[in-house]
Amino acid sequence: MLKSRIIPCLDVKDGRVVKGVNFVNLRDAGDPVESAKAYDAAGADELCFLDITASHEDRDIIFDVVSRTAEQCFMPLTVGGGVRTVDDIRKLLLAGADKVSINTAAVNDRALVRAASEKFGAQCIVVAIDAKRTSESRDKWKIFTHGGRKETGIDAIEFAKEVTALGAGELLLTSMDRDGTGDGFDLKLTRAISDAVPVPVIASGGVGSLDHLVAGVIEGGASAVLAASIFHFGTYSISEAKQYMARAGVPVRIDP
């Protein structure tokens, strides 16, 4: 039976791990390769690096981080942040990423999603969607780009369907309203997107307790749940999260 995945996400800036709260107020929390090894040993199902390095000159640091991680961790690794071109994707895959996530560029250049999917296969193209509820309706969400700073006016559900049709193999869905709050996933959003597309959806944004992980799968319909702070600052271990989910009836991988 296919298991629901738990994915710790490491925000990486200039080669160091940080975690944004609502995408601002960054805190330094260590070496990404060491963190990756710790999560590998702890039984995380995948790892996600989000590169939030601001300056273009320092962006090559992530390739070194990815390649050192891939040499030591025998688990799937997704890398995103600042991916603009097919060549950016190629470089990350060659460094050792298994999947590459595209955010802003997928909005500005839909052809990139198709080109990347045709070139490298849908299995390694993740489109990251940052969505926020609209003021008009509780059941409408618009997408944001540039790490959540720029509003696009594009409907999240329509965009999800569109990029999936273009060849995205997975969606990483972050609720802007919930990110950094610890109030739990936006379950309505997660369910709406998950029901709208044929590919797996990773729920992200807002995890503050283990119940939130369970709800993301059962109520949100997510194939995987992503969290940062609760794991990164040791509130819960991966193993505690998995035991909890298993008791709540969510099938998870617990390998010795």
Partner 1 sequence: MKVAIIDYGSGNLRSASKAFERAAGELGLTAEINVTSRPEDVTAADRIVLPGVGAFADCQSGLNAVDGMWQALEQAVHADGKPFLGICVGMQLMAERGLEFGVTPGFGWLAGDVVAIKPDDPSLKIPHMGWNTLNPKRPHDVLDGIVTGDDGLHAYFVHSFHLQVERAEDLVAETRYGGDITAIVARDNMIGTQFHPEKSQTLGLHLIANFLRWTP
For the chain, strand residue ranges (E) read 5-13, 16-21, 24-28, 47-51, 77-80, 99-102, 125-133, 141-145, 150-155, 170-175, 201-204, 224-227
- Cα Rg of the chain (Å, integer): 17
Residue span binding partner 1 (CB under 8 A) among the ranges 40-48, 57-65, 136-144, 227-235: 40-48
Alpha carbon 239 to chain centroid, angstroms: 20
**From the CB of 1, what's the least distance to partner 1, in Å?**
6
Tokens matching residue 188: 């309505």
d(CA 106, CA 92): 17
Q: Quick check: 169 binds partner 1 (CB under 8 A)?
A: yes
* Candidates 39-47, 131-139, 210-218, 237-245; binding stretch for partner 1 (CB under 8 A): 39-47
Query: Active-site residue among 45, 51, 88, 130?
Result: 130
Nearest to partner 1 of 72, 108 (CB atom): 72
Cα distances (Å, whole numbers) of residue 156 to 60, 131, 134, 161, 194:
31, 6, 10, 9, 11
- 11 given a catalytic annotation: yes
Measured between alpha carbons, how far is 234 from 42 in angstroms, rounded to an integer?
Answer: 12
From residue 224 to residue 243, the character string flagging contacts with partner 1 as x (rule: CB under 8 A) and all else as - is x-------------------
Selected from 15, 26, 29, 40, the binder of partner 1 by CB under 8 A is 40
List 21, 54, 94, 165, residue binding partner 1 (CB under 8 A): 94
- Residue 28 is a catalytic residue: no
Choice from 26, 109, 115, 200 touching partner 1 (CB under 8 A): 200
Pairing of strands 201-204, 224-227: parallel
Quick one: the chain helix, strand, coil %, rounded to 5? Answer: 40, 25, 35
Residue 121 touching partner 1 (CB under 8 A): yes
97 is a contact residue toward partner 1 (CB under 8 A): yes
**String marking each residue 50-89 x if it binds partner 1 according to CB under 8 A:** -----------------x--xxxxxxx-------------
CB atoms within 10 A of CB 121: 12
Stretch of 21-29, 149-157, 235-243, 248-256 lying at the interface with partner 1 (CB under 8 A): 248-256
At residue 194's C-alpha, the angle toward residues 211 and 45, to 5°, is: 55
Of 11, 45, 88, 186, catalytic: 11
Using rule CB under 8 A, residue 123 touches partner 1: yes
For partner 1, the binding residues (CB under 8 A) are 1-5, 40, 43, 45, 67, 70-76, 93-98, 119-124, 169-170, 198-201, 223-224, 253, 255-256
